[in-house]
């Protein structure tokens, strides 16, 4: 069951230049067609350009990261302007504002000393070649202050497995928050867990068990503590790569629910589709679609409602690539 209605777009942050705004140092943009043409059907963008919001102007001298006395600084080499403190203060303020406003994901521009998530050149005072372990100051701030927010760079989203994982995390994060709104309760958490437990199992079995215990023993602790802990375990588990073997484990768990009801021919078809997926002959969407179909045919409500079978809009075709 998809909690998000198709006409309900999820708010996410995005580096302004990626949605075509002319905010770069040279007055240009870095419009990303996947973001503007495909993701825009599902997400409501909140464009943010830290450098222009800081008042650096368009066009402006380029910036770079420099290591001075072992700390990272944001410098305009042309005029030696050091804007580290200004950018850090802005970033702290902006992230606090975004937490209040509520967004459910973020796409950052790679290779920017403000927005890049990693692998940036860091220059030292001498002329030796730069290190390549820098993180943009705004990016580092949002990742540190909001570790559960699904964040990716536009370049990494061209990797289909990373793309599937990020989109799934955004939908899961949004659906969790919506399910607990306006006030969390144990009843809501139990209902959410019964729909999402297999989504977690395919990423990390220890978290799946821990979350099960948390829900079972939840009444002993204040509800806010329980839901905060659940959300942390949930979003952290989803960040881990789900392997083919872990997907097969979940598919076989789901198959177990069909024991009595299903015809021999249908069961054979399901088993064969899982085997074909194991061998790499078909993508995950094949056994997932069959299980979903038969769960509806045989009225297995519990299976049919599993978010694992419908983690994101099918038009994105993301289960066809893993
Ligand atoms: S990378 Fe970030 S700071 Fe640079 S132009 Fe794009 S949004 Fe602005």
The three-point CA angle 13-15-18 to 5° equals 115
Last residue of a domain, one of 178, 212, 239: 239
pLDDT in tens, the chain (322 residues): 444 555 689 999 999 999 999 999 999 999 999 999 999 999 999 999 999 999 999 999 999 999 998 899 999 999 999 999 999 999 999 999 999 999 999 999 999 999 999 999 999 876 678 999 999 999 999 999 999 999 999 999 999 999 999 999 999 999 999 999 999 999 999 999 999 999 999 999 999 999 999 999 988 899 999 999 999 999 999 999 999 999 999 999 999 999 777 899 999 999 999 999 999 999 999 999 999 999 999 999 999 999 999 999 988 989 888 8
Together in a domain, 152 and 164 = no
What is the Å distance from ligand 1's center to 15 Cα? Answer: 6
Together in a domain, 56 and 134 = yes
Together in a domain, 146 and 174 = no
Structure tokens that stand for 305 in this block: 């409602």
Q: Is 141 in the pocket of ligand 1 (CB under 6 A)?
A: no
What is the Å distance from ligand 1's center to 107 Cα? Answer: 11
Would you tell me how many other CB atoms lie within 10 Å of the CB of residue 85? 10
Taking the mean position of all CA atoms in its chain, how far away is CA 107?
9
Q: Is 60 in the pocket of ligand 1 (CB under 6 A)?
A: no
What is the Å distance from ligand 1's center to 130 Cα? Answer: 21
Tally of domains in the chain: 3
Question: Does residue 284 lie in a domain region?
Answer: yes
Question: Does residue 79 lie in a domain region?
Answer: yes
Structure tokens that stand for 61 in this block: 């001298």
User: Which residues form the domain of 271?
Assistant: 256-320
Question: How much is the pTM?
Answer: 0.95
Together in a domain, 191 and 141 = no
Pair 42, 70: CB distance under 8 Å: no
For the beta sheet containing 10-15, the strands, ordered from the edge strand earlier in sequence to the opposite edge, are: 43-48, 10-15, 106-108, 151-153
Last residue of a domain, one of 136, 158, 180: 158
Pair 44, 60: CB distance under 8 Å: no
**CA–CA gap between residue 34 and residue 130 (Å, rounded):** 32
Question: Does residue 106 lie in a domain region?
Answer: yes
60, HSE (Cβ side, Cα atoms, 13 Å): 18
Together in a domain, 101 and 215 = no
């Amino acid at each position: 069951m998809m909690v998000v209605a198709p006409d309900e777009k999820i708010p996410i942050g995005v580096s302004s230049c990626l949605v075509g705004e002319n905010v770069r140092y040279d007055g240009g943009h870095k419009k990303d067609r996947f973001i503007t043409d495909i993701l825009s059907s599902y997400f409501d963008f909140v464009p943010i350009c830290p450098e222009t919001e800081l008042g650096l102007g368009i066009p402006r001298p380029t910036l770079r990261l420099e290591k001075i006395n072992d700390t990272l600084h944001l410098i305009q080499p042309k005029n030696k302007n050091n804007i580290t403190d200004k950018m850090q203060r802005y970033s702290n303020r902006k992230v606090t504002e975004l937490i209040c406003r509520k967004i459910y994901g973020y796409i950052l521009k790679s290779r920017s000393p403000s927005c890049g998530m990693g692998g940036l050149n860091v220059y030292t005072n001498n002329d030796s070649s730069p290190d390549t372990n820098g993180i943009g100051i705004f990016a580092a701030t949002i990742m540190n202050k909001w570790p559960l927010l699904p964040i990716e760079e536009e370049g990494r989203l061209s990797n289909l497995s990373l793309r599937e994982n990020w989109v799934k995390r955004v939908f899961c994060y949004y659906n969790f928050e919506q399910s607990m709104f306006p006030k969390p309760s144990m009843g809501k958490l139990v209902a959410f867990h019964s729909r999402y437990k297999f989504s977690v199992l395919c990423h990390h079995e220890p978290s799946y068990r821990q979350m099960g215990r948390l829900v079972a023993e939840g009444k002993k602790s204040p509800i806010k503590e329980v839901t905060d802990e659940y959300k942390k375990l949930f979003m952290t588990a989803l960040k881990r790569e789900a392997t083919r073997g872990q997907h097969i484990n979940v598919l076989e768990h789901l198959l177990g629910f069909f024991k009595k009801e299903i015809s021999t021919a249908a069961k054979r078809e399901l088993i064969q589709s899982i085997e074909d997926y194991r061998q790499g002959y078909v993508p995950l969407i094949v056994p997932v679609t069959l299980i979903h179909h038969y769960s509806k045919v045989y009225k297995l409500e519990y299976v049919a409602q599993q978010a694992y079978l419908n983690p994101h809009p099918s038009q994105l075709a993301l289960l066809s690539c893993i």
